[in-house]
Amino acid sequence: MRGLKLLSFIVIAALLLSGCVPTGGNQIKIAILAPLSGPVPTFGVMTRDGALLAIEEWNAKGGVLNRKIATVVEDSQCTPDPAVNAANKVIDQDKVKFIVGEVCSKASIPISEIANAKKVLQISPTSTNPDVTVAKDGKTKEYIFRACFIDPFQGQVGAKFALENLKAKTAFILLDQANDYVKGLAEFFEKSYTAGGGKVVGKETYTAKDTDFAAILSKVAAAKPDVVYLPDYYNIVNLVTKQAKEKGITAAFLGGDGWDSSDLDLKAAAGGYFTNHYSPDSTAPEAVAFLKAFGAKYKDDKGQPKVPDALAALAYDATNLLLASIKEAGSDDPTKVKAAMEKITFNGVSGKITFDKAHNPVKSATLLKVTDKKVEFNSVVNP
């Protein structure tokens, strides 16, 4: 036994010295920063799994630039401080030059400041707030990209749907002002909704720590709006819509991509609608192939194929986009890769992606309806 160990040690040492074993240094490292714990863990799990599927497929075909792809996964918790720590760790200790993440705008924005300053290419799959890719002075952050549409468009799609499809003349807006995504999307919705002739009859704020929404829901009940716009994440949506139903509020709730989760409480949110990036019902060939590959790799508690959501689809697209750009650049120098990414045309699961000057893709949105049994595809809205 000891002899065997010694022998294998000698063999490995010899291989390493001769350069026949790929060492860490030869691999291309990608960091995945996602909220695996904290308020929205389904976002993190789906993002990680979508990204890992893409990497597995590339590695099965030999990697990129004839090098294997290695990953570093960090839990950035959808929260600025852990996100900053994770970004510093992967850049300074793990020496990554590429980051896929974060999910939440309020985590992606601080990460982008670090990545851009250190010339590390960051692509957020899902962060929709404009400030992720554009600095306060209006300049595009050179090294920062995203794979999703942005909230001025998402808010406009929601407003148009409220006005034209739901025939809603009045809206009540509920928001968490400390969440960049929620605050931004609420503003963009309001702008488009009032410009389109709708009237905002009330606006109330809460915090992410609140669990009892009785006070603000009483105001909603009194205002009798046609729709309630609630552009927050599923954890908050579950609480608010449940308490609204208990209060007898019948107005339709409308939200954004943050509603997308296998943990969305369908009973509570039934009758609501939300804008999103993807639907597993999509019949586009890229989407059909992705649904199949994802379900083959990942199973739920009952051993059934897992159904990917928008987080998984966009993480898959963002990772594929990044690897295609590295390949196109013929180099893993982020300065060359970002130049390649700016020019790329990429057919993803979530649609065709080309970047505008602010490093944002111009893409269509999907409208989904929540019933007490499932989330149904409603329609696609083009930019």
Footprint on this chain of ligand PHE (rule: CB under 6 A): 43, 103-105, 126-129, 181, 257-258, 260, 310-311
Residue number, 175 or 329, with CB nearest to ligand PHE: 175
Q: What is the DSSP letter of 114?
A: H
We find the least distance from the C-beta atom of residue 33 to ligand PHE, in angstroms, to be 13
We find the least distance from the C-beta atom of residue 103 to ligand PHE, in angstroms, to be 5
Residue number, 87 or 311, with CB nearest to ligand PHE: 311
Q: Record the tokens describing residue 206, joined without a space.
A: 């809460």
We find the least distance from the C-beta atom of residue 157 to ligand PHE, in angstroms, to be 13
Instruction: Give the chain's length.
Output: 383
- What 3 state SS string does 218-250 have? HHHHHHCCCEEECCCCHHHHHHHHHHHHHCCCC
We find the least distance from the C-beta atom of residue 381 to ligand PHE, in angstroms, to be 16
Residue number, 27 or 205, with CB nearest to ligand PHE: 205
We find the least distance from the C-beta atom of residue 20 to ligand PHE, in angstroms, to be 43
Q: Record the tokens describing residue 202, joined without a space.
A: 């009330």
Residue number, 147 or 329, with CB nearest to ligand PHE: 147
We find the least distance from the C-beta atom of residue 4 to ligand PHE, in angstroms, to be 51
Residue 145 to residues 257, 304, 329: CA-CA distances in angstroms?
18, 34, 16
Dihedral of CA atoms 120, 123, 126, 132 in degrees, nearest 10, equals 50
Q: Record the tokens describing residue 252, joined without a space.
A: 């339709």
Residue number, 70 or 310, with CB nearest to ligand PHE: 310
We find the least distance from the C-beta atom of residue 106 to ligand PHE, in angstroms, to be 7
Residue number, 30 or 132, with CB nearest to ligand PHE: 132
In terms of phi and psi (left: phi > 0; alpha: psi -120 to 50; beta: otherwise), the region of 79 is beta
200 near 190, Cβ under 8 Å? yes
End-to-end CA distance of the chain: 67
57 near 98, Cβ under 8 Å? no
Give the separation between CA 320 and CA 57, rounded to whole angstroms.
Answer: 10
